[in-house]
Chain A
Amino acid sequence: MVWMRKNIAEEYLETILYLTKGGRPAKTKDIADAMGIKPPSVTEMLAKLKDEGYIEYQPYGGASLTERGKAEAIQMERKHQVLETFLVDALGVELEKAHDEACEMEHTVSDSTLARMCAFLGHPRFCPDDHPITKGECCEKSEESMPLAGLKEGEEGVIKIVCADKGTRDYLLSLGFLPDTALTVKKKLPSNSLLVRIKGAEIAIGGDIAEKIFVKKAPA
């Protein structure tokens, strides 16, 4: 039963994070409405969370997150958003269904699996409903390389990793888009479509794919 309680605690923290985004403490009633639970049970749980040091809480004043609680809540929110993005973008699940199921999965997914999902998606910055996703450790690491779309006209780079789906990846592979291969951006359109020179040929790439090819910029 320990994990059940952890589950619920995580849901509370996430809800409070969401409700306090405006800067004001979250009212017991609002928390109860958002979670579909009766206010007395909410009060009881809030007291427990306060004891554990996750939140500041005054009866009638409302609840706000402590540093510790906030860090925990942001991690949960990140998990939720990455899962939701994975379900929608990689698997084509409907948004609403993805949201509901991500709510369940966020409590069971391991950190390492999540990091892999995040890398598979190319460390997305926004989730399907356009909220920004907080950067994780894996995103920070991948910062050293940047999406191909980030290079300017005339700049050179070396491919680090290609994160597209298998069909696209294999097609790119046959065109020479391999790790440690040098390329030059010959043209860049306002839409981020690129023309790159690689392996002695010129290849045009749409902006969406250019976001999924990660390169290390060569010093000019």
Chain B
Amino acid sequence: MKPVRVAIIGNPTVGKSTLFSSLTGIGVMISNYPGTTVEVARGSATHDGVTLELFDLPGVYSLDMTCAEERTVLDFLAEERPDVILNVIDATRLERNLYLTLEVLELGLPVVVALNMMEEAHAIGMEVDAERLSRLLGVPVVPIFLHGGLGLDELAHALFHPAKGKRFMPRYDRHVEEFIRQLTGMQMGLSRYDAIRLLMGAAGERYPEGVRSAAGLMREEIERTHGERIEEILASNRYGAAGLIARAVASQRPSRATLRERIDGLLMSPVSGMAILALIILGMLLIVFFVGGFLESVIVGAFDSMIISPASGSLVAHPLARVIVTYTLIGVQAGLGIVVPYIMTFYVLMSLLENSGYLTRAAFLLDDVMHRLRLHGRAMIPLILGFGCSVPAIMSTKTLQTRRERIITSAMVCMVPCSARSIVIMGLVATFVSVWAALSIYLLMLAITIMVGYVLGRVVRGEEMGFILEMVPLRVPMLKDVVDKTWMQMREFVYVAFPLLIAGSAFLGLLQYVGVLDYVNSLLAPITVGLLGLPPYAATALLFGILRKEMALETLAVLAGTAQFSLVLTPLQMYVFAVFTAIYMPCIATVTMLSRVVGVKDTLFITCLTFILALVISGLVAQIVPLLAAIL
């Protein structure tokens, strides 16, 4: 029997993805819909011997094609022609959610409505009559209690048998209805939905020119007599209907100010809110730094002693194989050293913040600060993540609304000193020069980050969208969601960045074996020795730093023949090396993630930018400090 194809549509943050993964388990494929960064997750479930193929579409508020997500959803529906639409709605925000439901009903495809968040509705004193809603809408409505796992079987059953009764259609203004009748009566096979799209002027080349111009005239006529845009007329009719339905099926017990509301008030007040935000950010950084750092040293150490050393020892007789195997293993080690400690720890914390609804509150509080960089409050989140590891930070820029913001924020993230760069700054400068010198590098990086944001904010063109963000109601995060989300992020990194990391590492090993590295050292000498005043072998160290930033330091130790850097390098050399390492080219895992998020062209642009900045700034330090010293 052919699988039933189901497209899941709903507002953002109504628990679509949770419902999706409850139905499908974790065997999910995430793919970017062609030509966009908007993602569509695909998974399947079997019920009574029949397979359901589910597509989790991005969250949207309407189907009017005003943003990339809405276009993706409509394109998907037009091209993939799913058998059923599963419309997920949030019982606690019924009226707003039903607006989209009414648009979905107009599409004409079979529809099943999942009435989600029933437990939350109950908690705030709301009762929703699902049966009555089903009768009014004319499609099956299944109440879902996700915490208790109730309703999933009924939902699967309904998806196989979406009733084909008479469904509710929003009635529009008399004038609009008249024109819809005229358009559908033109003997051109136009449906009610086609007619509405034509009147809104949103229909593409699918319709013949004559029909489009006729609809254009009708639109002008309507807008002229009403003195309103047609979008507004339709929206207000739909919202009118949504409001009536919502009032008919939901009842609200008068509730006193709950604990939840009082907590929410504290989280969003300017003073207490900011204090809590600062504590949370600090707490996150500390946890990631310490827990991540600890896990990393355990993993890297164990990998060294248990796998790399024995493997390279056993291959002494075959130098080429030895180099390739060792470096491949170093690549694996580098990947494990990032993924498990940092990405996992971060995503556990992040999904706690996100699923509890706190992130939207943080964005609200920070909007003003970010506004000066012509960015959204939301862009603050990746920057905070960047102190731990740039990879998940850049991954998280996918949640930003416009491409312009994604590019600016990613470029800024590349300048935030991640924990690997902290290792170089701490291990070299703080240990062998002074703590103050190390601190000055952090301040320098902070200044560069802000400068990059300020300049790019004015240079990068593109859609600027004002700050409009729906607050996710505060909830207690579900353990399953946190685990799922963390796993999905780790998997994405493993699939995308791991192969490159390993191949890149093996390639570097090969280069060293055939002696190219010495050649590279002498080739780059004018820069490393001439401009930066470093020893020639620093070029190799910096090359390895591309794999993983702290490897620059480790390689430097190997090449210098000692980890007691003060014996072989001057304080200025150490400072310059650390500054250069902190700024130049993001590590290969970051670059891979960048190209996934902002595309190859802008990745090249950002990478070049960091290179130039690194050369200029560390070059200046190397050249000016001796001059100053001579004068003083």
A93 at the interface (CB under 8 A from B): no
Contact A193 B468 (CB under 8 A): no
A175 to chain B: closest residue by CB: B61
Q: How far is the CB of B475 from chain A (nearest CB, A)?
A: 13
A205 — which chain B residues lie within 8 A by C-beta? 466-468
A89 at the interface (CB under 8 A from B): no
B269 to chain A: closest residue by CB: A187
Complex: A200 Cα to B247 Cα, angstroms: 11
A179 at the interface (CB under 8 A from B): yes
- B-contact 0/1 string along A142-175, CB 8 Å cutoff: 0000000000000000000000100110111111
- A-contact 0/1 string along B411-443, CB 8 Å cutoff: 000000000000000000000000000000000
For the complex, count residues of A whose C-beta is within 8 A of B: 31
Q: How far is the CB of B207 from chain A (nearest CB, A)?
A: 21
Known A174-B66, A195-B471; contact A209-B368, beta-carbon cutoff 8 A: no
Q: Please pick, from B61, B95, B360, B364, the residue contacting A193 in the complex, using a CB distance under 8 A.
A: B364
A133 at the interface (CB under 8 A from B): no
B268 — which chain A residues lie within 8 A by C-beta? 187, 195
* Chain B at the A interface: SS class: helix
Complex: A204 Cα to B466 Cα, angstroms: 11
A193 to chain B: closest residue by CB: B367
25 contacts between A and B (CB under 8 A): A167-B66, A167-B67, A170-B231, A171-B61, A171-B67, A173-B62, A173-B232, A173-B235, A176-B95, A176-B239, A178-B232, A179-B232, A179-B236, A189-B365, A190-B270, A193-B367, A199-B99, A199-B239, A200-B96, A200-B246, A201-B93, A203-B469, A204-B467, A204-B470, A209-B468
A174 to chain B: closest residue by CB: B62
Contact A176 B99 (CB under 8 A): yes
A25 — which chain B residues lie within 8 A by C-beta? none
Contact A202 B470 (CB under 8 A): yes
Q: Other than the known A180-B236, A181-B239, A204-B470, what 13 A-B pairs have Cβ atoms closer than 8 Å?
A: A173-B232, A174-B66, A175-B96, A176-B239, A178-B235, A179-B236, A193-B367, A199-B243, A201-B93, A202-B471, A203-B468, A204-B468, A205-B467
Best-buried of B64, B231, B265, B468 by chain A (most CB within 10 Å): B468
B135 at the interface (CB under 8 A from A): no
Q: Please pick, from A187, A193, A201, A207, the residue contacting B470 in the complex, using a CB distance under 8 A.
A: A201
Contact B466 A203 (CB under 8 A): no
Contact A167 B463 (CB under 8 A): yes
Q: How far is the CB of A93 from chain B (nearest CB, A)?
A: 15
Give 7 nearest A-B pairs by CB, closest first. Answer: A206-B467, A191-B368, A174-B62, A174-B61, A170-B66, A202-B471, A209-B466
A208 at the interface (CB under 8 A from B): yes
B90 to chain A: closest residue by CB: A201
Binding site for B on A (CB under 8 A): 164, 167-168, 170-176, 178-181, 187, 189-191, 193, 195, 199-209
B465 — which chain A residues lie within 8 A by C-beta? 167-168, 171
Q: How far is the CB of B62 from chain A (nearest CB, A)?
A: 4
B94 at the interface (CB under 8 A from A): yes
List which B609-627 residues lie within 8 A (CB) of chain A.
none
A165 to chain B: closest residue by CB: B466
B497 at the interface (CB under 8 A from A): no
Known A171-B66, A193-B467, A209-B466; contact A204-B368, beta-carbon cutoff 8 A: no
Contact A199 B96 (CB under 8 A): yes
A181 — which chain B residues lie within 8 A by C-beta? 239
- A-contact 0/1 string along B311-351, CB 8 Å cutoff: 00000000000000000000000000000000000000000
Complex: A206 Cα to B243 Cα, angstroms: 26
Complex: A208 Cα to B368 Cα, angstroms: 10
- A-contact 0/1 string along B348-370, CB 8 Å cutoff: 00000000000010011101100
Q: How far is the CB of A84 from chain B (nearest CB, A)?
A: 21
